[in-house]
Amino acid sequence: MILEAFLLGVSTGTVCITTCAPSAVPLFLSREWSPRRNALGTALFFGGRLAGYLLFGLILGALGALAAGYLTPLWEGRIGALAYLLTGVLLLMEGIFYNLEKPRFQCFMKKRYPWTGGLFLFGLLTGLHFCPPFFAAAVRVTAEGGGPLQGGLFFLFFFLGTSLYFLPLLAAPWLTRKPAVRLVARMTLLLMGGYFFLVLGLFNLGGQL
Partner 1 sequence: MNPDNTLKRNRPLPVVLILTALMGLHVFFFNNPASSLQLEGIPSWMGPVASLIYNTAALILFFLMLRTNRVGFFRRIFFVSIALLFLPTFIANIIEMRGHMALTTKDIFLNETPFCHIVLPLVAIPYALTQTLAFPAVLSTGYASFFSMLVIWLAATVILGRGWCSWVCFYGGWDDGFSRLRKRPALKISPRNDRLRYGGFAMLLFTLLAGLPTLTVVYCEWFCPFKLITEFEEPTGFKSMLAFILMVLLFFALAIILPLLTRKRVQCGSFCPFGAFQSLAGRVSPFRVVLDSGKCVQCGKCIQACPVMAISPETIKEGRGQPLMTCTLCGECVDVCPAQAVDFGLALQKKPSPPAGSLIKELLHPRSLLPWAGFAFGFVISSGFATGTLYRFFHLLVRGSFVLPGGLF
Positions in the binding site for partner 1 (CB under 8 A): 14-15, 17-19, 21-22, 25-26, 129, 131, 180, 183-185, 187-188, 191-192, 195, 199-200, 203
Those residues with Cβ within 8 angstroms of residue 151's Cβ, 6 or more apart along the chain or in another chain:
57, 58, 59, 60, 61, 62, 141, 144
Q: Is 15 helix (H, G, I), strand (E, B) or coil?
A: helix
Q: Is 15 or 59 the residue whose CB approaches partner 1 more closely?
A: 15
CB of 150 to partner 1, least distance (A): 29
Q: Is 7 or 187 the residue whose CB approaches partner 1 more closely?
A: 187
CB of 207 to partner 1, least distance (A): 9
Q: Is 26 or 61 the residue whose CB approaches partner 1 more closely?
A: 26
Q: Phi and psi of 30, rounded to 5°?
A: -90, -5
d(CA 125, CA 117): 12
Q: Is 13 or 64 the residue whose CB approaches partner 1 more closely?
A: 13
d(CA 136, CA 33): 36
CB of 151 to partner 1, least distance (A): 25
Residue 82 identity: L
CB of 196 to partner 1, least distance (A): 8
